[in-house]
Amino acid sequence: MSLLFSHVKSFMLFFVLSCCVLVSPLYADGFGDCNDLYGCIDGGTTKIPQSGGQNKSGNKSSNSNKVTQNKQGTQGYQGGFLASGAMPTLGARKGSFLYSIALLTALFDNGVQKQGYGILLKDGYILAAADLMNEDGAYLRSVMAKMQDDSSKSLMCFAMLRLRATDSKLSLLRAENYTDIYCNTREESFYHQRINLHHFTPIYKGMLKSTVLSRKDNVLFPFVTENNALFYKSASIANIQKHSAIHGLPLFNSGGHFVGFLYSVNEPKRRNVVVSSDEVRDFVCDVAKRRLLPTSDLTRACMKNNTAIK
């Protein structure tokens, strides 16, 4: 009888140990765990990206980016973004253009930080306003891009960008290093490939002139909500141009098609002008035809004189 009890006890111990092994977690929530979306978590702590060097004590941040303290005691940045308001009701398909928008943070060697919007183009290129990449008497140190898609409810770190070309109005950047959502550098993953492949913005020739007939017509534009997520609202171009300077604001028609880019100018009678989709296409193709970019689907569309970059 004692021998039988000993065998039963051994079996129960083995069964309990087997269950513990089988129910081990599949996602990164412990030391050294990794997965494709979140990257690796070290001891459950979140790493904050560093600027790459110590700033001088006399440096001051840009006036357009004031550090504020919210109710939770964490710091947030207020850029030149339009305040949230009434949100138009669009279907999920039409609202998917938000997944092609990147929130860009440019950091300069004098400590100035600027924020603005960019749009994802073919082959992982990102279009942004030129003034976001320029600061008098300073060098551009780094550009961080945050994006979101249908798998996330808020903006997440996506990539560190490198400036590839610029003129007086527009800039073209591309990912130099991809990151996980905690802004730690990592190799390009399926998550990055999925966004680059499915959520880039096609640039159609004549889209602004054919769909926005006057400055009174409404267009859609993005803003960041209190939950650190991208959403959109609607306003006429005339009303948008009255707001304070913004370092790049992409504009879309009611169907979610890109029609232009709001660009800031230093003129007393007008604050912002619209760079049309035609001008955007001409800028990208001019850079491509001067062979400043490696051969890709983006450059081939320009070389073939296609009416659209898609």
Report yes or no on 237 lying in a domain.
Answer: yes
Indicate the SS3 state at residue 198. Answer: helix
Q: What is the pLDDT of residue 80?
A: 38
CATH number at residue 183: 2.40.10.120
Report yes or no on 23 lying in a domain.
Answer: no
Residues 237 and 219: beta-carbon distance below 8 Å:
yes
d(CA 270, CA 109): 30
Report yes or no on 2 lying in a domain.
Answer: no
Angle at 76 between CA 73 and CA 82, to 5 degrees: 135
Report yes or no on 273 lying in a domain.
Answer: yes
- Amino acid occupying residue 179: T
- Amino acid occupying residue 148: Q
Tally of domains in the chain: 1
Report yes or no on 116 lying in a domain.
Answer: yes
Report yes or no on 195 lying in a domain.
Answer: yes
Q: What is the pLDDT of residues 36-88, one digit of tens each?
A: 333 343 433 333 333 334 344 333 333 344 333 343 443 333 333 333 333 33
Report yes or no on 22 lying in a domain.
Answer: no
Q: Which sign does the torsion angle of CA 227, 231, 234, 238 carry?
A: positive
Q: What is the pLDDT of residues 98-120, one digit of tens each?
A: 999 999 999 999 999 999 999 99
Report yes or no on 40 lying in a domain.
Answer: no
pTM: 0.69
* pLDDT per residue rounded down to tens, the chain (310 residues): 555 555 555 556 555 445 444 433 322 223 333 433 333 434 333 333 333 343 443 333 333 443 333 434 433 333 333 333 333 333 334 458 999 999 999 999 999 999 999 999 988 999 999 999 999 999 999 999 999 988 888 999 999 999 999 999 999 999 999 999 899 999 999 989 999 999 999 888 888 888 888 889 999 999 999 999 999 999 999 898 887 767 889 999 988 999 999 888 777 677 788 899 999 999 999 998 888 888 888 888 887 766 677 7
Domain limits at 284? 84-309
